[in-house]
């Protein structure tokens, strides 16, 4: 289906219901849906259905679920991205592209050289915004499972919690990709801020069994690095076609 919408609802066959306000407004005002149109709905937990539009109002759209079908499968490689928080659209871009490339979860990180600190309501609003970025990316790319965007945390805490079989930290000037003995089921990927991780932070990641990885002679921006690294990971261990 060309039209896909996320709805935080149970989606059993034959159910009739009114879409939540956000999806309803988008379907009616932006996509100009009419009774009889069909739309794909997914619940963010891997369940996807085909629904038919019954009625369209200014603020309400009623649909009926007419069939179920198998959504696009998730990547067999479970990647947890630790992404240093960056300003403005750069963080949105990093999350959006990571979702398109099959990331399983993202934790925004506070680092020594990062210049963003979030507290209170601002932190809550930003987390909701990032989760919506992930939802929109899923609507576009065909995923029916929305990756978790975890609350921001300090890098040392995130490092201490990692138990993934393969742990990688991007660091300029380091050797390039080294094939692993076996294909890992889970990977932790650490991306630093625009100014890079500090020497102490790199040392801390190595202490927690992270492997330093370089991506060539050019210094990539913090929002570009996850795109390149996730492409490498998915092409070797995941579902990205060569």
- Per-residue pLDDT of 148-197, as tens digits, reads 999 999 999 999 999 999 999 998 877 667 666 578 999 999 999 988 99
Among 99-103, 128-132, 214-218, which is the least confidently predicted range?
214-218
Q: How confident is the model at residue 35 (pLDDT cuts 50, 70, 90)?
A: very high
Q: How confident is the model at residue 1 (pLDDT cuts 50, 70, 90)?
A: very low
pTM: predicted TM-score of the whole model, two decimal places? 0.92
Which strands make up the sheet holding 48-56, listed edge to edge? 4-6, 38-42, 48-56, 61-68, 16-18
> Residue 206: is its pLDDT beyond 90?
yes
The pLDDT assigned to 12 comes to 94
Q: Is the dihedral of CA 196, 201, 203, 206 positive or negative?
A: negative
Express each pLDDT in 83-118 by its tens digit.
Answer: 999 988 999 999 999 999 999 999 999 999 988 888
Angle between helix 120-141 and helix 89-100 axes, rounded to 10 deg: 40
Q: Mean pLDDT over residues 24-32, rounded?
A: 89
> Residue 230: is its pLDDT beyond 90?
yes
């Amino acid at each position: 289906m060309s039209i896909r919408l996320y709805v935080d609802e149970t989606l059993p066959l034959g159910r009739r219901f009114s879409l939540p306000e956000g999806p309803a407004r988008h379907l009616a005002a932006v996509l100009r849906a009419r009774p009889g149109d069909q739309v794909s709905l997914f619940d963010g937990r891997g369940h996807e259905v085909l629904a038919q539009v019954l009625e369209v109002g200014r603020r309400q759209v009623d649909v009926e679920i007419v069939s179920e079908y198998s959504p696009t499968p998730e990547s067999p490689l479970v990647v947890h991205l630790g992404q240093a928080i960056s300003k403005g659209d750069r963080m949105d871009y990093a999350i959006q592209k990571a979702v398109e490339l099959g990331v399983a979860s993202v934790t925004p990180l506070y680092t020594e050289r990062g210049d963003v600190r979030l507290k209170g309501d601002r932190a809550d609003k930003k987390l909701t915004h990032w989760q919506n970025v992930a939802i929109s990316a899923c609507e576009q790319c065909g995923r029916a499972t929305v990756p978790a965007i975890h609350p921001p945390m300090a890098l040392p805490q995130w490092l201490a919690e990692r138990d993934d079989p393969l742990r990688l930290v991007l660091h300029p000037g380091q050797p390039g990709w080294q094939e692993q003995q076996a294909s890992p089921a889970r990977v932790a990927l650490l991306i630093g801020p625009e100014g890079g991780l500090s020497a102490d932070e790199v040392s801390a990641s190595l202490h927690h069994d992270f492997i330093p990885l370089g991506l060539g002679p050019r210094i990539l921006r913090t929002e570009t690095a996850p795109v390149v690294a996730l492409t490498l990971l998915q092409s070797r261990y995941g579902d990205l076609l060569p």
